[in-house]
């Protein structure tokens, strides 16, 4: 699966403040890998929105995508399930 995640709306205006990149663009990652760390209270204060779009760029290879709902625990609870 190939995806693009944009953390927050207009957060580019913060010029990196509040973010620490862990994974590099194009790097292969697996389930559970940390890709970025961010300061949510700072983003809630300074960003226009913390809404975070996730775009899957190879949907033609995806057979099923299920959006999961309910309470989540950071780093433990999946929010989408994808079948290739």
What one-character-per-residue DSSP string does 6-69 give? --SBSGGGGTTTTEEE-SPTT----TT---EEE-HHHHHHHSSB----EEETTGGG-SEEEE--
**Catalytic site residues?**
6
């Amino acid at each position: 699966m190939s995806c693009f995640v944009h953390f927050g709306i207009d957060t580019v205006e913060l010029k990196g403040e509040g973010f620490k990149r862990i994974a590099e663009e194009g790097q292969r990652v697996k389930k559970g890998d940390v890709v970025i760390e961010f300061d949510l209270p700072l983003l809630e204060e300074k960003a226009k929105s913390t809404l975070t779009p996730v775009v899957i760029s190879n949907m033609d290879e995806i057979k099923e995508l299920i959006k999961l709902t309910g309470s989540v625990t950071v780093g433990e609870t999946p929010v989408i399930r994808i079948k290739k």
